[in-house]
C-alpha cells in the first residue's frame, strides 16, 4: 500500500521516514500517524534494515504539532481514543527493536516534539525550535509529552516547559538533554546517518537489548531494573554475536556480526 502523507524509502541499511505535509508544516493527523506506524512496522520486519531516520520535509519544520482542524473536533471520548492511539504508535517506535533517530529540522512542537522524544536519539539542526505549547491552546500534551519530557530532562525543567508553553532553541535543548547533538542545518541528515551507521556497526542484538533495558527499566524500581538487565545479559550470552565480538576483540580484528 502506498504512502500519501509520508515518504518511506530504504537506502543501504537505513530506512528513511519523512513526514510530508509541508503546507501545514508536517502537522500530525490520524492518517499520518497510522502511516508512520505502518512504516516503522515495515522497517522492523525487514532484515536488511538496521535502523531508521525520521525527519520532516522541507527546511522549516520537523513537525509543527497536531493538526488543529482535526484536534478541535475531538469530543471527550474521542479525545481519549486519539491520545491512546497516538501513545500506542509512539510506544511502537520506542520499542520497535532497532535504533530510530529523529533528525529535527526547524519547528518541532507539541505532537512533533512527542514524536521526536519517542525516538531512540535526537539530532537537531541549529535552526530547530522545540517545545510543548499545548497550554497555549487550553489543552495538555496527549502523546506522552508529560511522561517522556521529565524522563529526559528532569521534573522541574519539564514542568516549566509544559506549563509555560515556552519554546527553546537547539542549543538549550542540547544543554538540558532533550537532544543529543546540534549541527548546522545543511549537515543534519549526514550527521544522523553517521550516528546511525556507528550504531549499526555494533552487535545488533546487543543494541536492541540495550534499548529495551533502558526503556523498560525506566518504568521499574532499581531492583527490578537490575534484574531485567541480568536477564537480558543472559539472553545475549547465548548468541553467536557475543562469541564473535569477544573473539574478534581478542584476535584484534573487526567483528563480523550476524544478528544471531
123: cell is 539530532
| Separation CA 18–CA 16 (nearest Å) | 6
The per-residue pLDDT for range 22-31, each reduced to its tens digit, is 999 999 999 9
Within 15-169, residue ranges assigned H as helices are 30-44, 68-71, 76-94, 111-118, 145-153, 155-164
- Do 221 and 207 form a contact (C-beta atoms < 8 A)? no
Q: Which CATH superfamily is domain 204-250 in?
A: Lyase 2-enoyl-coa Hydratase, Chain  A, domain 2 (1.10.12.10)
pLDDT value of position 67:
83
3-state secondary structure of 73: coil
pLDDT value of position 86:
95
The set of long-range contacts for 133-142, using a CB threshold of 8 Å and a minimum separation of 24, is: 133/65, 133/109, 133/165, 133/166, 133/167, 134/110, 134/162, 134/165, 135/162, 135/163, 135/164, 135/165, 136/165, 137/68, 139/71, 141/110, 141/114, 142/79, 142/82, 142/83, 142/86, 142/87, 142/111
Average per-residue pLDDT for the chain: 95
Q: Assess whether pLDDT exceeds 90 at residue 146.
A: yes
Active site residues: 114, 134
Measured at the CA of 120, the angle between CA 211 and CA 64, to 5 degrees, comes to 155
CATH topology identical between 6-200 and 204-250: no
Q: Which CA distances in Å does 172 have to 76, 179, 218?
A: 35, 9, 24
Hey, which CATH number is domain 6-200, 1.20.1250.20, 3.30.420.250, 3.40.640.10, 3.90.226.10?
3.90.226.10
pLDDT value of position 17:
98
pLDDT value of position 71:
80
Q: How confident is the model at residue 68 (pLDDT cuts 50, 70, 90)?
A: confident
Q: Which CA distances in Å does 4 have to 1, 8, 23, 33, 230?
A: 10, 10, 14, 11, 43
* The residue to which cell 490520524 is assigned: 30
Q: What is the percentage of the chain residues whose pLDDT exceeds 70?
A: 100
For residue 167, give the DSSP letter.
-
The per-residue pLDDT for range 178-224, each reduced to its tens digit, is 999 999 999 999 999 999 999 999 999 999 999 999 999 999 999 99
Q: Where are the domains of the chain?
A: 6-200, 204-250
Residue 207 zone, left/alpha/beta (φ > 0; ψ -120 to 50; rest)? alpha
Q: Assess whether pLDDT exceeds 90 at residue 243.
A: yes
Q: How confident is the model at residue 21 (pLDDT cuts 50, 70, 90)?
A: very high
Between 243 and 1, the higher pLDDT residue: 243
Q: How confident is the model at residue 177 (pLDDT cuts 50, 70, 90)?
A: very high
Mean pLDDT for 119-142 is 96
Amino acid at each position: 500500500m502506498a504512502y500519501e502523507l509520508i515518504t518511506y524509502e530504504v537506502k543501504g541499511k537505513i530506512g528513511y521516514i519523512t513526514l510530508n505535509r509541508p503546507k501545514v508544516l508536517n502537522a500530525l493527523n490520524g492518517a499520518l500517524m497510522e502511516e508512520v506506524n505502518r512504516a516503522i512496522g515495515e522497517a522492523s520486519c525487514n532484515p536488511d534494515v538496521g535502523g531508521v531516520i525520521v525527519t520532516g520535509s522541507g527546511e522549516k519544520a520537523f513537525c509543527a504539532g497536531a493538526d488543529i482542524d482535526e484536534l478541535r473536533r475531538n469530543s471527550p471520548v474521542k479525545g481519549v481514543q486519539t491520545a491512546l492511539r497516538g501513545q500506542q504508535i509512539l510506544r511502537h517506535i520506542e520499542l520497535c527493536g532497532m535504533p530510530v533517530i529523529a533528525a529535527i529540522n526547524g519547528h518541532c512542537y507539541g505532537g512533533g516534539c512527542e514524536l521526536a522524544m519517542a525516538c531512540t536519539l535526537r539530532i537537531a539542526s541549529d535552526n530547530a525550535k522545540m517545545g510543548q505549547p499545548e497550554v497555549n491552546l487550553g489543552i495538555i500534551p496527549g502523546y506522552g509529552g508529560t511522561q517522556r519530557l521529565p524522563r529526559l530532562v528532569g521534573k522541574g525543567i519539564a514542568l516549566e516547559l509544559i506549563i509555560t508553553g515556552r519554546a527553546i532553541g537547539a542549543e538549550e535543548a542540547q544543554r538540558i538533554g532533550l537532544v543529543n547533538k546540534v549541527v548546522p542545518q545543511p549537515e543534519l541528515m549526514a550527521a544522523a546517518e553517521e550516528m546511525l551507521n556507528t550504531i549499526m556497526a555494533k552487535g545488533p542484538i546487543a543494541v536492541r537489548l540495550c534499548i529495551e533495558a533502558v526503556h523498560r527499566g525506566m518504568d521499574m524500581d532499581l531492583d527490578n531494573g537490575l534484574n531485567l538487565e541480568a536477564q537480558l545479559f543472559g539472553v545475549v550470552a547465548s548468541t553467536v554475536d557475543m562469541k564473535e565480538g569477544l573473539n574478534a576483540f581478542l584476535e584484534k580484528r573487526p567483528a563480523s556480526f550476524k544478528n544471531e
